[in-house]
């Protein structure tokens, strides 16, 4: 069902068409000229009052991880063009009533897309606010009919060595795979994103369709999905396979459970400029009211 | 005149102190770019990376001086102090960025130094470099005599710690830090054989 959740972050005046030199840069330049420090710009100021507006289109689309195109933050923007996203289809199989290969257009014709402005928290301790467009994963799962024996949902990213220059090196065990518990997958906050700022989602951000689970670390939100399988047992996930001690199956944003190599208590909001500093990371990335019940009675230190 | 001779002849004309000036320019330039918003969307991380990488490259450059003379005859020993001090300068800048622009929170700074192996190891590398930087002057060389050379063997440890620090902080299996570590191991390996070779037959 679309519209089960209402945005709590505002779009404000942020538009994709905003001028190249945004207001923060202008302010930072002015501050530099005046020899001032500690200027975070308007976002920094808003962050203090708890109100956030989305990051710029350029920030969202030029700085991210998509290791299939390289491990540098600008590699995806530079190399993801090579990915053919049309035609595209998603195989939905496993414990469903209507398994099959669903074309992207077919899916889109049946889904209602809406805007969801979500906080995005990377496991590397940086964060953004992103105005996604997409539909609830629950709607897609309802479309294919989930059998009652299904307990988990497994996802798989495309693996195309000819188009993805990063997969020639085994940074991870390709293809990238992820998974959710069924109740997490059916949660109204969990969406399949197909756009940002009302435009088609760019390749580097996971075109043509990707998962977004805003209360979990970014790597859970798997990109460029080619397969969704409903399964009975907890499916393997890429980062967990690479390093189980550092990346759990759940990977909920949790300021109290540190990554073994760095603290998760704080984060660097992207776009605040060089002097903006960190802010405190929120439990479940600020979505505790919506999702804490999913984990009631679970030891989150154990199920990290 | 051989190529090596001409290189040596040219470099002999460069006063070593000019390296300080050239060497500090990138630090100032990157910082400037960061302040005016031209270091990308995550300028703090970018600055941290640039300084860290330059520090490691300079430390490696310092390690190259002796083998370079030994195997090619190119003599850059006059510049080794400048290279070393610049490396220290970049590690220091790297640390300052981490302290004042990245983490900022005192409690977290301590926790990170004690609890995070990659920070602990980086910090150990930095600490090793302090006595080396302090004694990188003619007065100390004279004063310490033979002990100066022994003390400055700490460089090997510092570089190794710096490289391990880099390897530890990479997510997944990444090539770049391993290449740095490999290069350092080769450069250190060359030295293990030096004393034997140097003995008169
Ligand atoms: C011998 C001393 C050191 C050397 C050679 C060194 C070198 C490096 C290098 C090469 C990188 C990776 C840059 C990149 O990703 O391109 C790095 C990253 C980093 N270093 Fe150091 N470093 C040293 C000491 C320190 C110290 C003392 C600290 C702080 C206490 C520190 C904190 C960091 C941090 C926070 C990062 C970035 C980690 C990330 O990407 O999240 N380093 N360093």
DSSP letter (8 states) at residue A287: T
- Contacts of B39 by beta carbon, 8 Å cutoff, 6+ apart: A274, B30, B33, B46, B47
Q: Is the pLDDT of residue B24 over 80?
A: yes
Residue of B nearest to A259 (CA): B116
Quick check: bond before B100 cis, omega within 30?
Answer: no
The answer to whether residue A17 is domain-embedded is: no
- Residue A269's Cα: distance from chain center in Å? 15
Restricting to B residues 67-126, those with a Cβ less than 8 Å away from any Cβ of A are: 101-105, 108, 111-112, 115-118
Residues with CB under 6 A from ligand 1: B 48-49, 52-53, 55-56, 59, 91, 94-95, 98, 119, 122-123, 125-126, 158, 161-162, 165-166, 169
Count of structural domains, chain A: 1
Quick check: bond before A87 cis, omega within 30?
Answer: yes
Rounded CA gap, A80 and A132, in Å?
19
pLDDT (0 to 100) of residue B172: 76
Q: Name the residue at shortest CA distance from atom 39 of ligand 1.
A: B169
The answer to whether residue B11 is domain-embedded is: yes
The answer to whether residue A16 is domain-embedded is: no
pLDDT (0 to 100) of residue B111: 85
Count of structural domains, chain B: 1
What the block records as the tokens of A110 is 């049946």
The answer to whether residue A36 is domain-embedded is: no
**CA dist list (Å): B114 to A191, A214, B92:** 39, 31, 19
Q: Which domain holds residue A215?
A: 83-265+285-295
Is A169 close to B175, i.e. CB distance below 8 A?
A: yes
The answer to whether residue A9 is domain-embedded is: no
Query: What's the CATH code of the domain at A183?
Result: 3.90.420.10
Q: How confident is the model at residue B1 (pLDDT cuts 50, 70, 90)?
A: low
Region B144-168: what's the mean pLDDT?
96
The answer to whether residue A33 is domain-embedded is: no
Q: Which domain holds residue B17?
A: 3-189
Rounded CA gap, B65 and B103, in Å?
36
In this prediction the pTM is 0.83
Its ipTM equals 0.77
The answer to whether residue A13 is domain-embedded is: no
pLDDT per residue of chain A (304 residues) written in tens, 0 to 9: 788 888 888 765 443 334 334 444 444 444 444 444 333 333 433 343 345 579 999 999 999 999 999 999 999 999 999 999 999 999 999 999 999 999 999 999 999 999 999 999 999 999 999 999 999 999 999 999 999 999 999 999 999 999 999 999 888 999 999 999 999 999 999 999 999 999 999 999 999 999 999 999 999 999 999 999 999 999 999 999 999 988 999 999 999 998 888 889 999 999 888 998 899 999 999 999 999 999 999 999 888 9
The answer to whether residue B92 is domain-embedded is: yes
**CA dist list (Å): A271 to A126, B75, B193:** 10, 47, 51
The answer to whether residue A58 is domain-embedded is: no
Q: Which member of A55, A56, A172 has the closest CB to residue B172?
A: A172
Q: Are A88 and A192 in contact (CB under 8 A)?
A: no
From the CA of B46, how many Å to the nearest CA of chain A?
10
SS3 A239: helix
Region B82-100: what's the mean pLDDT?
97
pLDDT (0 to 100) of residue A215: 98
Instruction: Summarize pLDDT for B113-155 with one digit per residue, the tens.
Output: 888 889 999 999 999 999 999 999 999 999 999 999 999 999 9
Q: Is the pLDDT of residue B198 over 70?
A: no
pLDDT (0 to 100) of residue A24: 45
Q: Are A195 and A113 in contact (CB under 8 A)?
A: yes
pLDDT (0 to 100) of residue B200: 53
The answer to whether residue A100 is domain-embedded is: yes
pLDDT (0 to 100) of residue A267: 94
Rounded CA gap, A30 and B122, in Å?
35
Rounded CA gap, A25 and A17, in Å?
16
The answer to whether residue B173 is domain-embedded is: yes
Q: Is the pLDDT of residue B196 over 70?
A: no
Location of structure tokens 């102190």: B17
Q: Is the pLDDT of residue B167 over 70?
A: yes
Which residues in chain A are closer than 8 Å to B34, comparing Cβ atoms? 274
Mean pLDDT of chain B: 92
Rounded CA gap, A237 and A178, in Å?
4
What the block records as the tokens of B186 is 């080769």
Q: Name the residue at shortest CA distance from atom 11 of ligand 1.
A: B52
Rounded CA gap, A18 and A108, in Å?
28
């Amino acid at each position: 069902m679309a519209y089960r959740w209402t945005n709590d972050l505002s779009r404000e005046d942020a538009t994709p068409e905003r001028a190249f030199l945004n207001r923060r840069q202008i302010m930072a330049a002015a501050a530099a000229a005046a020899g001032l420090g500690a200027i975070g710009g308007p976002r920094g100021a808003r962050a203090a009052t708890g109100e956030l507006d989305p990051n710029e289109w350029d920030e969202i689309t030029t700085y991210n991880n998509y290791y299939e195109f390289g491990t540098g933050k600008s590699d995806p923007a530079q190399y993801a063009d090579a990915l053919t996203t049309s035609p595209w289809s998603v195989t939905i199989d496993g414990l469903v009533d209507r398994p099959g290969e669903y074309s992207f257009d077919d899916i889109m014709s049946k889904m209602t897309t809406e805007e969801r402005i979500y906080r995005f928290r990377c496991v590397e301790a940086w964060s953004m606010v992103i105005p996604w467009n997409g539909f609830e994963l629950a709607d897609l799962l309802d479309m294919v009919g989930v059998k009652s024996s299904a307990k988990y949902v497994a996802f798989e990213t495309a693996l195309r060595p000819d188009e993805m220059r990063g997969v020639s090196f085994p940074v991870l065990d390709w293809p990238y795979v992820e998974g959710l518990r069924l109740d997490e997958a059916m949660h109204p906050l969990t969406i399949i994103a197909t756009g940002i700022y009302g435009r088609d989602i760019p390749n580097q951000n996971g075109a043509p369709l990707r998962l977004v689970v805003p209360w979990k670390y970014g790597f859970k939100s798997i990109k460029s999905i080619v397969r969704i399988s409903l399964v009975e047992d907890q499916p393997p996930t890429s980062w967990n396979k690479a390093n189980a001690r550092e990346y759990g199956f759940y990977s909920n944003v949790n300021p109290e459970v540190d990554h073994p190599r760095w603290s998760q208590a704080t984060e660097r909001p992207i776009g605040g400029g060089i002097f903006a500093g960190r802010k405190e990371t929120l439990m479940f990335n600020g979505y505790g009211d919506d999702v804490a019940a999913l984990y009631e009675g679970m030891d989150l230190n154990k199920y990290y | 005149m051989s190529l090596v001779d001409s290189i040596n002849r040219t470099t002999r004309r460069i006063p070593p102190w000019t390296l300080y000036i050239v060497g500090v320019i990138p630090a100032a330039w990157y910082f400037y770019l960061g302040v005016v918003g031209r270091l990308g969307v995550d300028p703090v991380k970018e600055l941290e990376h640039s300084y860290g990488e330059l520090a490691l490259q300079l430390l490696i450059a310092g390690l190259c001086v002796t083998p370079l003379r030994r195997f090619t005859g190119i003599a850059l020993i006059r510049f080794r102090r400048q290279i070393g001090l610049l490396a220290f300068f970049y590690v220091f800048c790297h640390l300052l960025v981490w302290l004042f622009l990245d983490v900022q929170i005192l409690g977290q700074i301590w926790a990170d130094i004690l609890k995070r192996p990659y920070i602990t190891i980086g910090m150990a590398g930095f600490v090793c470099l302090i006595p080396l930087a302090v004694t990188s002057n003619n007065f100390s060389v004279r004063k310490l005599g033979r002990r100066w050379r022994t003390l400055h063997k700490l460089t090997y440890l510092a570089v190794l710690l710096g490289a391990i620090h880099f390897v530890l902080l990479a997510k997944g299996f990444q090539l770049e830090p391993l290449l740095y570590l490999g290069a350092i191991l080769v450069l250190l390996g060359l030295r293990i054989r030096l004393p034997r070779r140097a003995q008169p037959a």
